Chain A
């Protein structure tokens, strides 16, 4: 998928344009206040996007560890609340912890490096096809089948222009 601009960078660019192009044109106080609220929320999303999935996975594991520890410590406590707590914890006891997701910056950097090398490989396969190496053509198609998946994911995850290009007459 496209990783530059990242979702956070797109939001940053939107913020810049709101500040530079939209704010000076607003006529009413209400519109200016609404814009300020929009900017605050965009900043919030910008901060959240790079950490959201990593933190959710990590916190699922932390919560479960805590709950299992508490349930264990409450074992033998004869109270309705303790029994209820043990029941809650038991519902999660069998769940395998999520594997740790790499930090977004690490993932992004690795993805970029792997992608760059994969793309250079596409060029080399094309060169081999041009030199008449028979084995290269099916390998090129194999590599393209992955790229096709990537394209389809980009269309599903990034594309939002169903109404056509804004500003085209």
Chain B
């Protein structure tokens, strides 16, 4: 990979006196893309030395992919976010859409400063920064949701990016088509009988809230693992590959879901306007109740479960060789209890 990077930068800067790739390393975390970090030192023909601090995100082999997402779409979105909003996102500097240099589609993005280890915010040395970081995170989310969809997605690539028949023409159409997608997915996904998922998919219809006043560009994985902070500020909102046009309340449902799993209460740290929901609603004009949050917790967890279940099903049907997809049974087992808790399951019936 280092050789490929070196060749790639030589091709990008043909007049450069030298190109040096340093501190190359694999970054653990995330199953969807292969992620590497490095620094590229480019000595231009003028003698100027340019240092690029980079993250390389490359698609996994096709049969390993869980989320089928486009590097081109992510590349465009990152650069539009950087241009049109104040949200700290990494600019995408280079795109190898066809995978000519890196074997598979890849992108090189800025490596932003900041810490990702949130344990320091929660009871650690940075706990005095928690409220300001959490509040700014809420404000960044509001800022994203206040940005017109057309500015960030003029091509419409974020409307139904997975190509599963989602209608993003209105809030109601979006909810209806997502619920229909969940229901029809079960038949394709059920490599085994999955009672909790089916219960979730079919019971969501009984809980649907009023549609949101507007659809927005959603980050798609807005949670504690995907931001960086330093000195009480959010320095980066990262990992936008699951971005899509959707209901803004999805992001809060997912954030809430993940903070319960990770036991990192980011939302509870916001004090302004009575708390996270009040502050967000004031900034966006979008009302959000805890009932909405619980609905979208289940909604977003269902949306994420579908591609994971599909990957497991493909592997078990012999349509792949990736062991990860067998291993994914483990978090799926754990997630059933979470789904059951959200659905308000009673205690287990007694042993016969």
Contact = CB atoms under 8 A, between A and B. Distances in A.
B333 A158 contact: yes
Contacts of A80: none
Nearest to B315: A13
B326 A13 contact: yes
Interface residues of B, number: 40
B345 A144 contact: yes
Contacts of B343: 144
Interface string B287-304: 000000000000000000
Interface in B2-57: 27-31
Interface in A100-152: 112, 115-116, 118-119, 122-123, 126-127, 129-130, 141-142, 144-152
A147 B30 CA distance: 31
Interface residues on A, range: 35 or more
Interface in A49-102: none
B304 to A, nearest CB: 14
B82 interface: no
Given A126-B203, A130-B205, A145-B345, A151 B336 contact: yes
Interface in A1-57: 2-5, 9-10, 13-14, 16-17, 20-21
B198 A119 contact: yes
A129 B193 contact: no
B169 interface: no
A24 B194 CA distance: 36
Contacts of B83: none
A12 to B, nearest CB: 10
Given A20-B321, A119-B195, A119-B198, A148 B346 contact: yes
Given A122-B195, A122-B199, A147-B195, A154 B349 contact: no
A169 B30 contact: yes
A21 B324 CA distance: 12
B330 interface: yes
B28 A155 contact: no
A146 B198 contact: no
Contact of B196 (A141, A147, A155, A168): A147
A161 B261 CA distance: 14
Contacts of B351: 149
A144 B321 CA distance: 35
B340 interface: yes
The 4 closest A-B pairs by CB, nearest first: A169-B29, A169-B28, A115-B193, A149-B348
Interface of B: 27-31, 190-196, 198-199, 202-203, 205-206, 315-316, 321, 323-324, 326-327, 329-331, 333-334, 336-337, 340, 343, 345-349, 351
16 contacts: A5-B326, A10-B326, A13-B323, A16-B323, A112-B192, A112-B193, A115-B195, A119-B198, A126-B203, A127-B202, A130-B205, A141-B345, A150-B195, A151-B196, A154-B336, A168-B29
